[in-house]
A and B are shown apart, each in its own frame.
Chain A
Amino acid sequence: MSGGFHIVVCGSLVPDPLQTLEPVQGPNGPGLKNEGMLPSVLDPWAGHSLFEAANLAKQVPGSKVWLVSLGPKPKLQQLMMTVAQKVPFELVVVDGNAGGFTESMEVAAALAGAINAIQGLDPSRLLLFGGCASASRDAGATMQILGEMLGIDEMFLGVDELKVQADGGLHVLERIEGGKYLASVCAGPPAMLGWATGNLPEPPNNPQVGMLNMRGIMPALQRAQAVKVGAGTLQFDAVQVPTQRRETRVVKDVPVEEIAQEIVEWLKG
C-alpha cells in the first residue's frame, strides 16, 4: 500500500465488567445504577480493533491511526490515562452519552459526522475499524450503519485476522458458525472491519507512549462537539439483567479430566 492506510477506529467506554450493573429507570430513560460513577474500560471489542490497527500501522509505513470516541468527556479523559499508554493514536472526541441505551443509527450518524470532519483523512485509504459488538449492549449494528453512511461497500464482521497481500489486497478472516472462518479478499481500502477478538494480546502500558499521545488528547477533549444521542427518541418497555444460575459443589481431589467431563455433560443438558 503506497502512502499507508488511514485507519479510523471507533470505540468508547463501557462500565468495568467487574462492577455491579443494575438496570434502573432514570429521568432520561433506562440506565445503570450509579452509571456515572462506575469505573470504565475501553469496550473490549473496540480495544481489540485498536490494537490490531496500531499493529497494522506499524507494519505499513505512512499509516496513521485515529480513535474516534463518542462518550462523556470527563469519563473519556479518565479512560485515556490507560488507553493512551497502549499504542500511538490521535483522538477524536464526540461528547455524548455512551450508555447501553442509545440507538445505533444516532450513534452512527454522530460518528460519521466526526469522521468526515477529520482533517487530512483520505477516504480512498480509509480502513474503518470497530468492534463487531459492544459490551454495553450487543445490537451489533452500529459499524454497518456507519460504513453505509461513509459510503463504504466492503464490510466484514467478526474479523479475527487481516493480512495485507503483496498486491495491496486485503485478506480477511471472519468468524462464522461452528468455529470456522470465512476467508475473503478485497482489492483494498476503503473497507469496514468489525473486529471480534483478533489475535493480538493487549499491549502493556507504556507511559512514554502515553505522554506522546497526551499532547493531542487534551486538545481533542477540549474541542469536542456535543451531540445528543439516545435521549428521548427511544422507549424501552423493560430492561433486566439476564438471570444467573449458580450451582456450587465443594469437592476435593477430583482429577481435572473428570471435572471437564462433568462440565461437558452439564452443558449438553
Chain B
Amino acid sequence: MSQHADTGNAEANLKTLPGDDVRQIMWRFADRFDLQMLVQSAREVARGPVARLVAEGQRNTHEWTEEKNALLAAYDQAGITTAFMEPEQGGFIAGPKNLALALIAFELAWVDGGAATGSLAGNLGLSPIHEKGTDEQKNHYMSLAVPVQPGEERETLRPAFCLTEPLPYVGVDTGVLSGKVKIKEWREGEEPVLHVEKRGRFITNMGFANVVTAAVDSDDPRIKGSCMVILEETDPGVWDRGAPTKKMVHQLSSTSDPVFSLTIPASRIIGGYTVEDGVIVPAFNHSQIIESVFRRTRVTVGLMSSAKLLSAVEPIIRYQRGRFRGGSSGAPGSPRFDLGLQQKEDSIQRLVDVWATGEASASLGFAAARVFDEFDPLEAQKDSILAAAGVEGPRAALRYFKSKQEEAMAFLRLTRQPAGERDEARLEDLRSDVIVQYMLGEAVANVVCPACKLWNTGHGVNVMREAVSLMGGYGITEDCPGFLGQKWMDGQLEATYEGPEAVQRRQLSVTMTHDLFLAQFEGWIAELREIAKTHPQTGACALSNAMELWQWVLNHLLGAKDADGKRLYAGARQGVTFPMADALCWLLAAYYQIQDVLELEVKGAENPALADGLPGFVSFFQDLCHVQSAAAAGEVGRVCTELVFGYTAQPLWSDSCHQCCSGGQATAEGRPCLAEDGLQDYLALRTRMDSCLCGTRMAKDRAAAALAQVMIPEALDYPR
C-alpha cells in the first residue's frame, strides 16, 4: 500500500493575510531595522499622497502638475530620496542598497507604478555617477541630491537619465546613440570645453530634473568612442524639457522628449578621462556604464509588478465576498451573503493562481536584490584586485577569469561533498578567494536580473489581467478598489522600459549557458531533491524534475541541428533560445518561492508574535509553492517538448505511424518520431516530471478553500 505525504496540514488554516512580520522573514530583512522603517515610511507615502492623487484623477493628465510635483516633497520627507545615498553623503543606510530600493519600489508600486518609477528614476539618473563616477563627482552630486536641510541655501538636485537610441520604433540598440559630443575649445594647459548635442525620448523625471546624465558618442577625432556626461540646467546653451509624452500609463511620473545643446567642461565626463596623443580617452564608454547601472535597476522594476499582483488579493477577496450583498437574494448569514462569488470554485482557484504568481515573482525579485547586495562589495574588490594584478581592459579580464574558472568549479564541487570527507582547507581558501566568489556571484546575477525583469513584468502583466477580470466590470473602472485596472495597464510599460522583453531574453540566452551558472543550477536541483524528502507539499519534487528536464534539453539543443542541418542553439535562432529563456524564468521563480517558505518555517518559529498563525501561513504558502511548481513544470514541459520534437524531420505517414498513433503497441524502432538518438531519454524525463505532478490540484483545492475563510480587514487601507 502506498503512503501519501502530500495532504497538507488540515489543522493549520490561514487565519489572516500575511503581515509585515511574515514578509520580513520571507524576504530576509527581519534583522534590518533600517529597512523595516523604510518600508513603513514608503508605505505611508504610497497609501497617503500617492493613492489620493490616483483617486483624484491625476493620472488623467500627461503634464507634470503642481499636485504631482508635491510628491517630490513627500519622497524627500519620508527618506525615499536619501535612501540611495551613503551616510557620509547624507543618507541613512550603510552598505549596498539594492534590497532597500527594491522594498521602496515594492511599496510604492503596491499603489501606483508611476510613483515608483518617478522615485526610482531619480536614482537611475544618479546611478552612472554612483557606479562609475570619480570620487569628486560622486561626493558632489550625491550630496546635492540629498533634500535641502534647514539652514541650507541651495536647490535639491533632481536627476534624470538620458540614453535614447537614434530613432524611436526601430528596436533597441543601445550601442548606437542619438547624442554627440565634440571639443568646443581646448586651450593649452587648460581643461577642454565640450559641446553636447542630445535629443532624448521618453525621459523620466524630465518635467523637473535639473541635472541629466546623458550618453553621447564622439563627433570629434579628438575624443575617443562614447561616454556619459553630466549636464546641468544652468550650463550655457539650450535646456529644453520638451513636450510631455502622451503615455497612457505611469502618469504619476514625468516623461518628456528633451533637447539639449550645451557647453560643459570635460570634467563632466563620468568616470573622468585621460589624454593620450592629444585625444581625450574617457575612462568608461557608455556601454560599460549602462551595463553596470541596468543590471541593478531592472530588478526593482520587476518587483513593481510583483507588488501589484499581491496587492490585488485583498480587494478581490472583498469584492468576491460582498458581490451579492444588498441584493434581494441571500439574507445575512446565508452562504450567498457571506461568501458571494467565493462559493464558486473557479473564482477562488483563479485567485490562487494570481497569488501564487505574485509570491513567486516577489521571491525571485527579492532574491535578485539580495544577490546584488552580496555581489556589490565583491565587484568593488574585484576591480582593485584586477588593477593590482595589472589586468587592464575587458579582454585581459576575460582571460584572467578564464584562468580562475576551474577554481570556481572546484569550489562548487567541494561544497557538495559531505563535511569531513572533503578538503576543508582548500574549501576555505576558495571561499575567501574574492575572484572565485565574484565569478560565482556574477554568473547568478547575470541570470536572475534579466529573469526577474522578464518574467515578473511579462508574465506578471498577463496574470494581472486575470486579476482585473476577477473584479468583473468594476476592474476596469477608475474607482476599482486597489486601482487594479490602472495597475494592469502600467504593467505593459514595466515590461518595456529599461530594456524590453526581447533584450532580457537575449541576455538570458547567453548568460544561462555559462558553465558556472549551470553548475550552480545543478546544485539547486540536488537541493530541491533533499527538500522534497522533508517538504513534499512544496512541489519541490516536480520542480526539480522540471529543472532537470530543462537542463537536459539545453544540453541537447546546444549540440543539436534541425532537419535542415542548421544549428539549433545559435544567437540568431531566437525561436529556440528565447523560449528556453522564458522556461528558465518559471523555474527560478518557483525555486526561490520554495526557499522563502522554508525560511519562514524556520525563522518564524523564533518569533513569538507569529506563534498563532505560523502553521497556517506555512501550510498555505507551501500549497501556493506546489501550485506554482506545477505551473512551472507544465510550462517547461510544453516548451521543451516543442523544441525537442519541433525541429526534427516529419516522417512520411507509414503503417508504423498509424500503429503508433492509433494506440497500438509500438517499439521504439516502430515509432519514427523517436528515431533520433536520445529522445527516449527525454521522454523518460518528461514522464517522470509529469507523474510528479501528483497532488498539485489537491494543493490548489486547499489553497482555494483557505481563501474562502481567511479573515481580511474591513476596508482597504488606501487612499488614506
Contacts and interface: CB of A to CB of B under 8 A. Distances in A.
Interface in A198-233: 204-208, 210-211, 214, 218
B37 A33 contact: no
Contacts of A78: 20-21, 609
Given A85-B41, A207-B34, A207-B37, A33 B21 contact: no
B15 A37 contact: yes
A205 B49 CA distance: 13
A18 interface: yes
Interface in A69-88: 72-75, 78, 81-82, 84-85
Interface string A28-50: 00000110111100000000000
Interface string B95-112: 000000000000000000
Contacts of B608: 72-74
B609 A206 contact: no
B454 to A, nearest CB: 32
A148 B713 CA distance: 39
B79 A205 contact: yes
A20 B714 contact: yes
A104 B41 CA distance: 33
A174 B452 CA distance: 57
B95 to A, nearest CB: 14
A81 B33 contact: yes
A240 interface: no
B166 interface: no
A37 B16 contact: yes
A218 B713 contact: no
Given A78-B609, A81-B33, A33 B79 contact: no
Interface string A175-215: 00000000000000000000000000000111110110010
A75 B39 contact: no
A119 interface: no
Interface in B34-61: 34, 36-41, 44
Contact of B37 (A36, A205, A248): A205
B612 A34 contact: yes
Contact of A211 (B15, B34, B610): B34
A16 interface: yes
Given A18-B713, A204-B44, A205-B44, A81 B612 contact: no
A2 interface: no
Interface in B60-84: 74, 77-79, 82-83
A243 interface: no
A208 B44 CA distance: 16
Interface in B107-126: none
B40 A206 contact: no
B717 A18 contact: yes
A152 B38 CA distance: 39
A73 B609 CA distance: 8
A19 B714 contact: yes
Contact of A18 (B21, B609, B715): B715
B607 A208 contact: no
Contacts of A73: 608
A257 B713 CA distance: 32
Contacts of A210: 33, 37, 41
A20 B79 contact: no
Nearest to A206: B79
Interface string B597-627: 0000000000111111100000000000000
B664 interface: no
B314 to A, nearest CB: 11
A101 to B, nearest CB: 17
B713 A20 contact: yes
Contacts of A19: 713-714
A74 B609 CA distance: 6
A72 B608 CA distance: 9
Contacts of B78: 204-207
B19 A37 contact: yes
Contacts of B275: none
B326 A207 contact: no
B717 to A, nearest CB: 5
B570 interface: no
Contacts of B20: 39, 78, 81
A120 B256 CA distance: 59
B92 interface: yes
Given A16-B713, A78-B20, A81-B39, A206 B611 contact: no
A208 B91 CA distance: 8
B202 to A, nearest CB: 32
B34 A74 contact: no
A211 B609 contact: no
Contacts of B39: 81
Interface string B557-578: 0000000000000000000000
Residue among B39, B40, B610 with max Cβ neighbours from chain A (10 Å): B40
A34 B613 contact: yes
Contacts of A18: 713-715, 717
B711 A20 contact: yes
Contacts of B714: 18-20
Contacts of B41: 85, 205-207, 210
Contacts of A205: 37, 40-41, 44, 77-79
B675 interface: no
Nearest to A84: B37
A205 B41 CA distance: 6
B167 interface: no
A204 B33 CA distance: 18
B11 to A, nearest CB: 15
A34 B20 CA distance: 15
Nearest to B39: A81
A204 B40 CA distance: 11
Contacts of A248: 326
A208 B609 contact: no
Contacts of A37: 15-16, 19, 609-610, 612-613
B15 A81 contact: no
B510 interface: no
B711 A34 contact: yes
A81 B23 CA distance: 14
Residue among A81, A85, A207, A218 with max Cβ neighbours from chain B (10 Å): A207
Interface in B1-44: 15-16, 19-21, 33-34, 36-41, 44
B606 to A, nearest CB: 10
A205 B79 CA distance: 8
B712 interface: yes
Interface string B691-714: 000000000000000000001111
Contact of A208 (B16, B19, B92): B92
Contacts of B21: 74, 78
Contact of A36 (B34, B36, B92, B612): B612
A84 B38 CA distance: 12
Contacts of A218: 33
B375 to A, nearest CB: 25
Nearest to B614: A37
A218 B613 CA distance: 24
A74 B19 CA distance: 13
A36 B711 contact: no
Contacts of A207: 34, 37-38, 41, 78-79, 83, 92
Residue among A36, A205, A208, A218 with max Cβ neighbours from chain B (10 Å): A205
Contacts of A211: 33-34, 37, 92
17 contacts: A18-B714, A19-B713, A20-B711, A20-B714, A34-B16, A39-B19, A73-B608, A78-B21, A78-B609, A81-B39, A85-B37, A205-B37, A205-B40, A207-B34, A207-B83, A208-B79, A210-B37
Q: Which 5 A-B pairs have the closest CB atoms?
A: A74-B609, A207-B79, A205-B41, A210-B37, A81-B36
Given A16-B713, A38-B16, A207-B34, 9 more contacts: A18-B714, A20-B713, A34-B613, A37-B609, A74-B608, A205-B40, A205-B79, A206-B41, A207-B41
